[in-house]
Amino acid sequence: MERVAFLWQSWLDKAACAGVTAIICSIICMFYFRSTQVIEQRSLVNPVSVRENIAAQKPPPRPPAIQAALDKSKTLLEAKDYDQVITLAEGVMALDAKESFAHLYLARAYLAKGDMPKSIRTYAKAVELNPDFVDRKSLDKIGPELKVLVRSAVEELKKDEITKQPDYNDTLRAFYYLQRRLAGGCE
Protein backbone atom coordinates (compact mmCIF):
# COMPACT_ATOMS: atom_id res chain seq x y z
CA MET A 1 0.00 0.00 0.00
CA GLU A 2 2.91 2.30 0.69
CA ARG A 3 3.96 1.83 -2.90
CA VAL A 4 0.54 2.85 -4.19
CA ALA A 5 0.48 5.92 -1.96
CA PHE A 6 3.94 6.78 -3.25
CA LEU A 7 2.55 6.85 -6.76
CA TRP A 8 0.25 9.73 -5.84
CA GLN A 9 2.82 12.00 -4.26
CA SER A 10 3.09 14.59 -7.00
CA TRP A 11 1.19 15.95 -9.97
CA LEU A 12 3.69 14.18 -12.20
CA ASP A 13 2.76 10.79 -10.70
CA LYS A 14 -0.91 11.54 -11.17
CA ALA A 15 -0.30 12.63 -14.75
CA ALA A 16 1.73 9.48 -15.40
CA CYS A 17 -1.01 7.25 -13.96
CA ALA A 18 -3.54 9.07 -16.13
CA GLY A 19 -1.20 8.54 -19.09
CA VAL A 20 -0.93 4.81 -18.35
CA THR A 21 -4.73 4.53 -18.21
CA ALA A 22 -5.13 6.56 -21.39
CA ILE A 23 -2.62 4.41 -23.27
CA ILE A 24 -4.25 1.17 -22.16
CA CYS A 25 -7.64 2.53 -23.26
CA SER A 26 -6.14 3.70 -26.57
CA ILE A 27 -4.67 0.28 -27.30
CA ILE A 28 -8.00 -1.43 -26.54
CA CYS A 29 -9.86 1.10 -28.71
CA MET A 30 -7.39 0.71 -31.56
CA PHE A 31 -7.83 -3.05 -31.58
CA TYR A 32 -11.62 -2.67 -31.35
CA PHE A 33 -11.84 -0.16 -34.18
CA ARG A 34 -9.44 -2.16 -36.26
CA SER A 35 -11.59 -5.26 -35.88
CA THR A 36 -14.57 -3.21 -37.04
CA GLN A 37 -12.43 -1.74 -39.83
CA VAL A 38 -13.15 1.85 -38.85
CA ILE A 39 -9.43 2.66 -38.74
CA GLU A 40 -8.24 3.53 -42.18
CA GLN A 41 -5.33 1.50 -43.45
CA ARG A 42 -2.53 3.98 -44.06
CA SER A 43 -0.76 1.63 -46.38
CA LEU A 44 -1.80 1.78 -50.01
CA VAL A 45 -1.90 -2.00 -50.09
CA ASN A 46 -1.92 -4.61 -47.36
CA PRO A 47 1.39 -4.08 -45.49
CA VAL A 48 1.73 -7.76 -44.67
CA SER A 49 1.62 -8.68 -48.32
CA VAL A 50 4.23 -6.03 -49.05
CA ARG A 51 6.52 -7.45 -46.40
CA GLU A 52 6.14 -10.90 -47.87
CA ASN A 53 6.99 -9.45 -51.23
CA ILE A 54 10.06 -7.66 -49.90
CA ALA A 55 11.19 -10.70 -47.97
CA ALA A 56 11.23 -12.88 -51.04
CA GLN A 57 14.89 -13.22 -52.00
CA LYS A 58 13.98 -14.64 -55.35
CA PRO A 59 10.29 -14.41 -56.22
CA PRO A 60 8.83 -17.74 -57.31
CA PRO A 61 8.24 -18.11 -61.06
CA ARG A 62 4.85 -16.84 -62.20
CA PRO A 63 2.16 -19.31 -63.27
CA PRO A 64 2.27 -19.66 -67.09
CA ALA A 65 -1.19 -18.11 -67.54
CA ILE A 66 -0.17 -14.95 -65.68
CA GLN A 67 3.18 -14.74 -67.44
CA ALA A 68 1.47 -15.07 -70.83
CA ALA A 69 -1.06 -12.36 -69.92
CA LEU A 70 1.71 -10.02 -68.80
CA ASP A 71 3.72 -10.63 -71.95
CA LYS A 72 0.66 -9.94 -74.05
CA SER A 73 -0.10 -6.76 -72.04
CA LYS A 74 3.39 -5.50 -72.75
CA THR A 75 3.01 -6.12 -76.48
CA LEU A 76 -0.42 -4.50 -76.51
CA LEU A 77 0.95 -1.46 -74.69
CA GLU A 78 3.50 -1.03 -77.44
CA ALA A 79 0.70 -1.46 -79.99
CA LYS A 80 -1.29 1.22 -78.09
CA ASP A 81 -4.29 -1.06 -77.54
CA TYR A 82 -4.92 0.33 -74.07
CA ASP A 83 -8.45 -1.02 -73.49
CA GLN A 84 -7.20 -4.54 -74.07
CA VAL A 85 -4.25 -3.91 -71.70
CA ILE A 86 -6.65 -2.78 -68.98
CA THR A 87 -8.80 -5.89 -69.40
CA LEU A 88 -5.79 -8.20 -69.35
CA ALA A 89 -4.09 -6.49 -66.38
CA GLU A 90 -7.29 -6.50 -64.35
CA GLY A 91 -7.64 -10.18 -65.15
CA VAL A 92 -4.13 -10.84 -63.84
CA MET A 93 -4.86 -8.82 -60.69
CA ALA A 94 -7.96 -10.90 -60.08
CA LEU A 95 -5.72 -13.98 -60.06
CA ASP A 96 -2.86 -12.38 -58.11
CA ALA A 97 -3.52 -9.02 -56.46
CA LYS A 98 0.18 -8.67 -55.60
CA GLU A 99 1.41 -8.85 -59.21
CA SER A 100 3.28 -5.56 -59.47
CA PHE A 101 3.79 -5.69 -63.23
CA ALA A 102 0.04 -5.94 -63.80
CA HIS A 103 -0.34 -2.74 -61.74
CA LEU A 104 2.47 -1.14 -63.75
CA TYR A 105 0.97 -1.95 -67.15
CA LEU A 106 -2.44 -0.87 -65.93
CA ALA A 107 -1.00 2.46 -64.72
CA ARG A 108 0.68 3.02 -68.07
CA ALA A 109 -2.55 2.26 -69.90
CA TYR A 110 -4.54 4.68 -67.70
CA LEU A 111 -1.94 7.37 -68.28
CA ALA A 112 -1.98 6.83 -72.04
CA LYS A 113 -5.78 7.11 -71.97
CA GLY A 114 -5.48 10.43 -70.12
CA ASP A 115 -6.74 9.29 -66.71
CA MET A 116 -3.92 10.71 -64.61
CA PRO A 117 -5.47 10.32 -61.13
CA LYS A 118 -6.17 6.62 -61.67
CA SER A 119 -2.72 6.21 -63.18
CA ILE A 120 -1.04 7.83 -60.16
CA ARG A 121 -2.94 5.62 -57.73
CA THR A 122 -2.04 2.50 -59.69
CA TYR A 123 1.61 3.49 -60.07
CA ALA A 124 1.79 4.02 -56.30
CA LYS A 125 0.41 0.52 -55.70
CA ALA A 126 2.89 -0.92 -58.19
CA VAL A 127 5.80 0.82 -56.43
CA GLU A 128 4.65 -0.26 -52.98
CA LEU A 129 4.35 -3.85 -54.18
CA ASN A 130 7.69 -3.75 -55.92
CA PRO A 131 10.15 -1.18 -54.50
CA ASP A 132 12.62 -2.19 -57.22
CA PHE A 133 10.65 0.05 -59.57
CA VAL A 134 12.22 3.10 -57.88
CA ASP A 135 15.56 1.50 -57.13
CA ARG A 136 18.43 2.97 -59.06
CA LYS A 137 20.30 -0.36 -59.03
CA SER A 138 17.41 -2.45 -60.30
CA LEU A 139 16.83 -3.59 -63.87
CA ASP A 140 13.09 -3.04 -63.32
CA LYS A 141 13.52 0.66 -62.50
CA ILE A 142 10.95 3.08 -63.86
CA GLY A 143 12.26 6.15 -61.99
CA PRO A 144 12.69 8.42 -65.04
CA GLU A 145 9.17 7.61 -66.26
CA LEU A 146 7.74 8.34 -62.80
CA LYS A 147 9.65 11.60 -62.47
CA VAL A 148 8.07 12.85 -65.71
CA LEU A 149 4.64 11.82 -64.43
CA VAL A 150 5.11 13.48 -61.04
CA ARG A 151 6.40 16.68 -62.61
CA SER A 152 3.45 16.93 -64.98
CA ALA A 153 0.97 15.93 -62.26
CA VAL A 154 1.84 18.91 -60.04
CA GLU A 155 -0.24 21.26 -62.22
CA GLU A 156 -2.71 18.61 -63.41
CA LEU A 157 -3.84 17.77 -59.88
CA LYS A 158 -4.86 21.38 -59.25
CA LYS A 159 -7.49 21.32 -62.00
CA ASP A 160 -11.12 21.61 -60.89
CA GLU A 161 -12.34 18.46 -62.60
CA ILE A 162 -9.75 16.45 -60.68
CA THR A 163 -10.07 18.15 -57.28
CA LYS A 164 -13.81 17.46 -57.35
CA GLN A 165 -13.34 13.71 -57.86
CA PRO A 166 -14.50 11.67 -54.84
CA ASP A 167 -11.16 9.84 -54.53
CA TYR A 168 -9.08 13.00 -54.82
CA ASN A 169 -7.56 12.51 -51.36
CA ASP A 170 -6.43 9.00 -52.30
CA THR A 171 -4.86 10.39 -55.46
CA LEU A 172 -3.03 13.08 -53.49
CA ARG A 173 -1.79 10.52 -50.97
CA ALA A 174 -0.54 8.30 -53.77
CA PHE A 175 1.09 11.31 -55.46
CA TYR A 176 2.95 12.35 -52.29
CA TYR A 177 3.96 8.74 -51.75
CA LEU A 178 5.49 8.59 -55.23
CA GLN A 179 7.28 11.89 -54.62
CA ARG A 180 8.85 10.61 -51.41
CA ARG A 181 9.81 7.27 -52.96
CA LEU A 182 11.51 9.05 -55.83
CA ALA A 183 13.42 11.22 -53.35
CA GLY A 184 15.23 8.11 -52.09
CA GLY A 185 16.24 7.81 -48.44
CA CYS A 186 16.64 4.91 -46.10
CA GLU A 187 13.75 2.54 -45.38
Partner 1 sequence: MLSWFKKYWQNTPGLNWMIILTGMAFGILGILLVTWGNPTNTGICASCFLEGIAGALGLHTNVRMMYLRPELIGIVLGSFILALSTKGFSARGGASPLISFTLGIFTIVGSAMFMGCPVKLVYRLTSGDLTTLAGVVGLLAGVWVGVRFMREGFFLGDPGEQKTLNGLLLPIGAGVLLVFLLVKPGFIQFSTRGSGSIYAPWYISLGVGLTLGGLAQRSRFCIVGGLRNFFLAKDKSLLTGVFFMIMFAFITALVTNQFNPGMFDQPGSHFDHIWNFWGMFLTGYAAVLLGGCPLRQMVLAGEGDVDAGTSITGMLLAAALVHNWGLASSTAGPTFNGKIAVLIGILFCLVLSLIHRE
Q: Which is nearer to partner 1, 63 or 184 (CB)?
A: 184
Cα–Cα dist 13/70, whole Å: 62
Q: Buried b vs exposed e over 100-131: b needs ≥16 C-beta within 10 Å?
A: bbbbbbbbbbbbeeebbbbbbbbbbbbbbbbb
Instruction: Please identify, using beta-carbon distances, which residue of 61 and 114 lies nearer to partner 1.
Output: 61
Tell me the C-alpha distance between 170 and 13, whole Å. 43
Minimum gap (Å) between residue 181 Cβ and partner 1: 6
Residues that bind partner 1 (CB under 8 A): 3, 6-7, 10, 12-13, 16-17, 19-20, 23-24, 26-27, 30-31, 34, 39, 41-44, 47-48, 51, 54-57, 128, 131-132, 135, 137-138, 176-177, 179-187
Integer CA distances (angstroms), 25 to 21, 127, 134, in order:
6, 36, 40
Q: Find the shortest distance in angstroms from Cβ 119 to partner 1.
A: 18
Phi and psi of 62, rounded to 5°? -70, 150
Nearer to partner 1, 76 or 134 (CB): 134
Least distance CB 184 / partner 1 (angstroms): 4
Nearer to partner 1, 78 or 137 (CB): 137
